[in-house]
Amino acid sequence: MIRLFPAILFVCLAACTGEQSAAPAASAVAPQRPNFLLILVDDMGYADIGSFGGEIATPNLDRLAYEGIRFSNFHAASTCSPTRSMLFTGVDSHRAGLGNMFEELAPNQKGQPGYEGYLNDRVVSLPTLLKDAGYRTYMTGKWHLGSGVGKGPAFQGFERSFALDSGGASHFGDMRPAYAPSPDVKANYSENGIKLDSLPAEFEYSSQYYVDRMIEYLDDHGDSEQPFFAYLSFTAPHWPLQAPDEAIARHEGRYDDGYDALATARLQRMKDLDLIPADAVRSGRSPKELPWDELSEEQQKTEIRAMEIYAAMIDEVDRHTGRLLDYLDASGAANNTVIIFMSDNGPEGHDLDETWPMEAYPDIRKTIDATHDFSYAAMGRPGSYVLYGPNWANAGSPAFRLHKAFPTEGGTRVAAFIYDPRQNVGQPVVNNSVQNPTRNSGPSIVDHFVYVTDVTPTVLEFAGVSHPGNSYQGRPIESPTGISFAPLLRGDTRSDETRVTGAELFGKRVVRSGPWKLVHMSAPYGSNDWQLFNVMQDLGEAKDLSSDYPEKVEELKAHWDNYARENNVIIPDWVSGY
């Protein structure tokens, strides 16, 4: 269902028919094509920003969200690189090359089709298609879809790029990798496909520099008649949690009441914003969580500091995004730039021992332990290594079960919105206060299930570009399985009951149809067997209905078998514990 939707007219696109060139004829392209700014954040909780229930001051993102359309039921993969592979292809990650994260490949997956660890040659990327169609393409930030010749962003359609090719790194300019087998390894940055040995002196903090470079690219773009596709991929708030001292100071004392109080407050704001049902309850604790009042004073002190740093990272994302928005306004590009914002998965709820267990990654773990300062005084500063763990992750998405790396709602349901300045869409904001326009009684929200594979078909539709189907420049490729959500923005309705989606990562499996979810996870997070949930009635996935609806279990298991067969899913014979 859709609440408070506007009537929107979008650019018509040429029909996609069989094998054709990726570049459409000039007559097939709309005369005034929009620019695109795709903003991706890394490991952000659903309720972190204000427009999704958070207390962190995020006025720039909130303005876009309120004046645009928010997705209350948008889903990604449960971790970063599989999400990114689907975001840029519209194809399931097991077909696109990221059936598993490269760092987590099991012995039986290595060398198998769909498990290359980078975008393979059986898909064509969104920036490639847009570039073919006359778009200028720019990227700054985290890539995590392969590095080296033929794999990085410079080889996947981006004509200018400054990228962190790996999954994480220090947020400061010291080039410390988030994980490496030896102390002499530097973070894997590249510029226009060339690996960097050092970072520019202007690189003071990741969010600052990614925006600086994007502004530089767009400034060089100038008044070109060609539209642009800009991909701003923040590393924040991915671990190690780090932020400038002055940013952390803005949040001191805010979280002294602890994560349970924060979860309660955010849950209520999510209800007030009409993002979740009024009868939704806080999800149950994971086996790793503890009530706040059971922590020692010293434990509480460390937990509070971790959340202050995390909040500062979200704050910095918003502040620097605001600089980019100001630039677009000043340059005159803002009125024709469609902005899409999302997180790549749910909040990170693992601790250091789960993320890099000594038995699974002895060299990496020894390097981390030997080269970082874990003291309280160092937290958030260069050389520190902080994760905020399962307790704050629960507060990050308080209505949803578990967190990153799990196929439950907490791992896959993410904050996402689209802002199209060409349309009279959402609810205007003046002086950071939501107004009450006559055209709507509140912000526009789409409640339908939307999947990350839907972004590529939607952007192509907005741009008036056809996907080439199953062939690109003489090689066979996968056609997108995603569905454009442009009709949902127009107010069209579709039944979620008819859409069936499956996913697998680290051996954790899920298949979804309408309100029904069939989930398979090992203990202590699951039953080592299939569990059935109705997420419309039980958003926190607390009650297993498998024994009450055995026919539904068998129906969804059949869907799972079909999904696994079609996508060459290989259940790993080894997992790290992540």
Catalytic residue numbers, as ranges: 80, 144
Strand pairing of 433-434 and 429-430? antiparallel
Query: Which residues are within 8 A (CB) of 67 and not within 5 positions of it... i.e. 6 or more apart?
Result: 419, 425, 426, 427, 428, 429
Length of the chain: 578
Instruction: Let me know: does 557 contact 520? Beta carbons within 8 Å.
Output: no
Q: What CA–CA distance (Å, rounded) separates 17 from 466?
A: 9
φ, ψ of residue 365 in degrees (nearest 5): -65, -40
Contact between residue 163 and residue 141 where contact means Cβ atoms under 8 Å apart: yes
Please state whether 331 falls in left (phi above 0), alpha (psi between -120 and 50) or beta.
alpha
- DSSP letters along 312-342, please? HHHHHHHHHHHHHHHHHHHHT-GGGEEEEEE
Report how far apart, in Å, the C-alpha atoms of 142 and of each of 206, 234, 335, 436 are: 10, 6, 27, 38
Distance CA 517, CA 504 (A): 13
Nearest to 62 by CA among 277, 262, 251, 339: 339
Two tokens at 220? Answer: 């060089």
Round to whole Å and give the CA distance between 196 and 192.
10
Q: What stretch of H or E contains 176?
A: none
- CA gap 408, 539 in Å, rounded: 10
DSSP codes, 486-534: HHHHHT----GGG-EEEEEETTEEEEEETTEEEEE--TTTS-SSEEEEE
